Amino acid sequence: MIEFRKITWDNFEECIRLELHEEQKNFLATNVYSIAQSYVALANDDLPPMTYAIYHNDDMVGFILMYYDNADENEYGDENCYGVLRFMIDKRYQGRGYGKTALEKALEYIKTFPQGEASAVYIAYEPTNLVAKKLYSSFGFEETGKLNDSDEVIVKLNLNL
């Protein structure tokens, strides 16, 4: 069973020790950097980021950072949206279906509109990350034809309101 749990003092160290395979490390910022970004967002934005450790039963297997933007803040489009800024499964747990199940759970959570209604979900990924491309397209994400400031491919999933 996959579940999201808050990052606390009890699991913080374990979360920042999660790693990708060496050849994947250029695909994603470290979890410590992502948690630092979450803190800055928490201190400066109206809505807190949704930052979680991903667990399979009692094993921490990954990390996810989601956010909500209104139409004025959305850098990828002109509608209220959610985004997945960081999503990773530790190298020890890859290839077991946890990523797919965790993304499914994330989308179910987003569709409850925890921070406001939205019409889309955005994710950006490195163009050479073919595993991410396949995963996101399997959920119906479509390329927008745009790249973000880091030259990552931007994909969008329309939500049915």
Segment 8-42, tens digit of pLDDT: 999 999 999 999 999 999 899 999 999 999 999 88
Segment 34-73, tens digit of pLDDT: 999 999 988 888 889 999 999 999 999 999 999 999 988 8
Q: Which of 51, 160, 62 is nearest to 111 (CA)?
A: 160
pLDDT at residue 143, rounded to an integer: 96
The model's confidence at residue 114, banded by pLDDT at 50, 70 and 90, is very high
- CA torsion 110-72-161-152 (nearest 10°) is -60
Mean pLDDT to the nearest integer, 63-90:
94
Burial class of residue 24, CB neighbours in 10 A (0-12, 13-18, 19+): middle
Segment 118-138, tens digit of pLDDT: 999 999 999 999 999 999 999
pLDDT at residue 141, rounded to an integer: 97
- The domain that holds 123 is classified in CATH as 3.40.630.30
Query: By the 8 A CB rule, do 117 and 161 touch?
Result: yes
For residue 105, what is the DSSP state? H
Average pLDDT over the chain, rounded to an integer:
94
Q: How many domains does the chain have?
A: 1
Report whether pLDDT(93) > 60. Answer: yes
Report whether pLDDT(160) > 90. Answer: no
State the residue range of the domain holding 85: 2-158
Query: By the 8 A CB rule, do 81 and 122 touch?
Result: yes
Report whether pLDDT(161) > 60. Answer: no
pLDDT at residue 45, rounded to an integer: 82
Report whether pLDDT(88) > 60. Answer: yes
